Structure 1
Amino acid sequence: MARPFRIVVITVLGFILSTLVDLAFDTESRLGLDTLFKIRGPQTIPDQVVIVAMDEASETRLGVSQDLTRWREFHAKLLDQLHRQGARLIVFDLQFIAANPSVDPALANAMRAAGKVLINECVQKFRRGVEDFYGREECSDRNKMPAITREGKPATSLSEQLVVMRKLSPTPAIAQAALDSAPFYLVNDSENASIRESWTFYDALAEAPSLPVLAWFYYQPASSDNPVNQPLSAWLTEQRRACANASKLDKPTKQLICQGDSRYLNYYGPPRTLRMESYADVYEGKVGDLQGKVVFVGRANRQFSPGKSDFFQTPYSDSRTGKMAGVEIMATQFGNLLEDRFIESPAPGWIVASVYGLLIAIVLVRFVGWPGVAISLALALAYAGSTIYLFSQRHWWLPVAGPLLIQLPLSWLLSLAWSRYDLVRERGRMLAFVRRVFPQWVGMLPAAPGQWTEGANGAAAGTERDVSGLCLATDIEGYTTIAAQHSPREMWALLNTYYQVLGHPVVSHDGVIADVTGDAMMAVWFDAPAASQRSAACLAALEMATAVASFNLSSSLTPLATRIGLHEGELTLGSLDAGTSSHYRAIGDTVNIAARIQGVNKYLGTRILASQSIATDLDDIVSRPVGSFRVVGRAEPVKLVEIVGLKQGSDGQPNAVHGLFTDGLAAFQQGLWTEAARLFQAALDLDTNDGPSCFYLQKALAYREMPPLEWDGIVVLDSK
């Protein structure tokens, strides 16, 4: 009875917790679906889809800035260009709500001449009457009349559950000239919600079809089912309302019209993956190959600008790609319709999660302890591989975040807890047997696993050890001044978060934080090959610099500019006793030199400096020599390099500024002050912020006027 009971408990508890977490945090979409997209990567884009982007270049060339109303005077010529080139269909992701008598007649004539223009209808969403207003572009900004009205001034506010949606049609002159119109609503980007699915029909708007669906029906060859005496949008609404009697429709059409009101989008890649042409280029006739294409016209800036409106999070969005324009999402949905490539779930997620949890539970109960953990891990990896394969090849979305991140660890925990329980019970039975049969041995047995009598304990090991390792030292620039500007409580809160940000890269790259004092942190690497220690420390230093920069941007207090120094050598690691407490420390000259090296950053205007040996043979790290220095308290000079970054693509090519600086440094070390000054100045002409070039230029100019009595190429620093 024990095994079936445990299998049921592990399965049920894992499924319930996974479901609750998903309901609270939407883990399957935020982690599961988004991760599957990123693993799969970009897909082949449909050749029929073209986006005409109202981008930054067009704003400048046409002189329209970001005001959408000023673009309308150019749309007529754009339509003429697209019509002459044989575009199959032209879809405007714009709302022509406000009339503009000076340009509307010309635009209407161009629409009639083309005979294939679809336009967007504004959709507004209200919650609690007039509060929490949502919409897109001028649809939102210029039409905020209340969705409902109340008589008098009642003291109570409207219910939070009261949600109203309405549609605003284009101005009559434009609406009558267009082939047809339909809405396309997206969640307002101020909510920072990720767009994973899109409506096919708006049941809250009298079963109106969405604009991509309408475009797809116009794109299909005409059939006997299509209307001849009314717009397709009206016909689609009628078919949606009469789904129960829609036996005359073919199967794909009936599925699209009658099954559900939204589909999960199958994104082709990050923003700007679909073919995108600049509005100004098309307007000026510089773009060809538009014969038979479906052209979507709308705002789609080519450069990511967080402040711009009508941009939305997608599964591919990150700090590098930015958000996706609404017109790209519209074109993506049309492409999915064209290729029948939406993301689908082959079975309800709860069924898949239940079967998965049952298999894991059976394995863990059948193979007790670590063997069961290993087998279940292999089973989980096989499931993960299957979900990735099915997503890439069949566009099937199986639950992955809940099964792998919640059900599996919880199943392990329950299984190991039961194993521990069984072990304790067995140990108890053994102890009871010994007490009864061999009472003289009771004092030598453990009361619980791992808990032995005092006589069985061995002597305590030594508390210190000598190692050959690498030390990383950090310091906050201008910390004394910063601390004087804030209260102790503010500094405590600031530093508490700062050291969490600073320490994470160390731990993630297998380093040990040996000391944190005031504004300084010391980390060490040891017990690993020298090359591995060097690579890990450099990667940690680069990630620390990036993490601190992000931390400073998000902090409302004074930025903490951090300097980092790296040095390798002999260390003593151990616990130092002070009174009744002990402190773990790294001791030795290596620690002192690392601290001195980080101080050299102050002179060179750099962030990460290391002794020359550390950057040797690190092919994935970009570094440059910055000279030899005799630091305070040390007679032997130290050759230093600046750790610049990671080699990625073109980063591996020689840097012009670094090349000029290297030549200047060689001349400086030979005492050729004039030539050195010329080369450092040339480097600064290319990059005025290059700190090492600025430092050595000042030195070269000073030495040219008053050369040192004895020169060995070593810079002497007389302070920390």
Structure 2
Amino acid sequence: MSARAPFAFALKRSGLRWALGLAIVVALAGHALGRYDIRFADSLDAMIYDAKVRLFMPRTTDKRVAILDIDEKSLAELGRWPWDRARMAELVNALFAREHVAVLGFDMVFAEPDASSGLAVLDELARGALADNAAYRRALEGLAPRLDYDQRFADALAGHPVVLGYYFSNQDASSGAIGAPVMNARAFGTHPFTLFDWTSYGGNLPALQKAAQRAGYFNPVIDFDGSVRRVPLVTAYRDGVYGALSLEVIRALFGDAAVTPRFDDPGDPAAPLSGLALTTPRGTRVIPVDENGAALVPYRGAAGSFPYYSVADVLARRIPAGALAGRVVLIGTTAPGLMDQRTTPVGEVYPGVEVNANLIGGMLDGTIRFRPPFAAALQALALAAAGLAMIFFWPWHAPARATLLGAILFAAIIGGDLYAFARLGWSIPMASLLLAVLALYMLNMSYGYFVEARAKRHFAALFGQYVPPELVEEMSRSPEDYSMAGRRAELTVLFCDVLGFTAIAETLEPEALARLMNEYLGTMTEVIRAHRGTLDKYIGDAIMGFWGAPVDDPDHARHAVAAALGMRAALVDLNRTLTARGWPTLWIGIGINTGPMTVGDMGSSVRKAYTVMGDAVNVAARLEGLTRHFDIDIIVGEATREQVPDIVFREIDRVRVKGRVAPIAVFEPQPPHEHADALTRWHAALAHYRAREWAEAETLLATLAAQYPERQVYALYRRRIDALHGVELPEDWDCVSAFDVK
């Protein structure tokens, strides 16, 4: 036998297995080197990173940074947000003059003038009706400085180390003013970098920005799974490079310290960006960042790792003396209605202001972990070594031995990764290597295994989170007919919201509230899916769904109305369960509308979603808001009503909603406990009302109200008639009710 014969035999017996194994290694190596993305590997890397963060976070309280919280207590004592700028001026003066804080940062934007004092109205009188009244003008001149709340706020900011917040975007035109860049883009020379770039910003009032001088943006990086793991400390806008809120606070703390880029090899013009050098009177410290200028957030622990103080307590002097002295103070909010919550590795609901606090603490400690420049090459080299060993030299003929060696290799990779993360501060993605070991083990131990059909996997990944599995199955039979690209189509959209959710949330412990909402959202989502609906998103306690995409559905309006009726019925059963547990019952409002809209995968480079947009969508949201006014659980637009003529509806009103000039008729599906004759009397009463026949309408409404006292819509129209009695209406009175709700 020739020397080539054993190799030829091995190639014939194991050639396909070798080829598949090499394909796995090459594919994962390409991902490790950043040539392309493998979403599952990205997801696994994210999970591993999150687990390491939770495992090694110190879980201590950093008292160098304090958070002034616009919480529910502050809103209850000081009124709804935004507060007038005179109060903000009072707060700033108290923090610097009384509490002696070191630096003050605002995790918010003051974009619009404060007109709450009425000064604008007084000025208008001085220029108009009272222009000739010298006494009035003299009095106004003396009073104006006290009523110019924006100027009072600006005066309070001036001369203090204050950093205002702002944001960048790629959508609208710029507004307001922002601070100066930390450096010119030319500071990077010819070194490669890919900072996030923006086309516009939302800044503060120019007078406020001029007084404060300093400003920092608060745009995070939203990863593909919605979590915040990184924040760009520098970003590009036009010819400048601007600093994040956390970086600007650190600069202010060290006397407006200069920032310069730091490269892996300063003498090599092709060397990658490795950090930001912060020059302070105490020396130079380097803050590690990646090629996007972003830093990994060094989370100390769950929410509450920094001392929180209610703004109301600060203004009322209820905090201990010296509690804020010498500290960096950030003003932000945790009040649910103000929507500054983030998903993070350490909590699904995490205050956005505390993300910035973690970055500030990490920059002070020098504990920001980083991905070393050689991370990709190291991962690819390890993957090649382990992969080739497992493909060609692993003892697959001895399964027990192969399994033991595989387990040892797997444990060694994890142990090395944990050591590098905890002791060296390195964050090295290991998913490709771990996946290679696992995939090669499974390939060789179950040779001949075939993966699922590509089309089904593709559509399950794209649409499985939105539509029922049976629709994914239907779509996978002809994948060429479906796409996530944006398109124009007539669809039906539904918004559902829990009425009085804030009051409910106040009565329950967080764990109980989470269980209640999970049960509610799960129940309502199942109803939507059962009626072929596409789940768009959850917005707090609200649910958004639509019908007619991605799978065409000529009965989209009917299915949406049927889903709403099913949600009404399901809520009855759900409330029985909630009552048995001693929890409050839930009441919902549902708005449905049909019309042309854009549907597709929309968003930015950091996050996308399959969703709908358009005027018809906005109208549906407005109709959901009207359920509170009419005390009706389901309100349907006239376009939807026209497509389901066999369903019994009652017309409620003709309305003009926010954002639209043309009025629309709104309808309610026949209530389950009212007789058919009530519908006839109601429509007759509505006709008399619109004909200005008040007495006839009042008689019918009184009868209906007596028969169905729980129906507040009858009382609503009776109050309208009472208000219209004796009022001389114009001949072209159109009976349209205007609403300004969103």
The TM-score by the shorter chain falls in which range? 0.3 to 0.5
TM-score w.r.t. structure 2 length?
Answer: 0.46
TM-score w.r.t. structure 1 length?
Answer: 0.47
**The structure with more radius of gyration:** 1
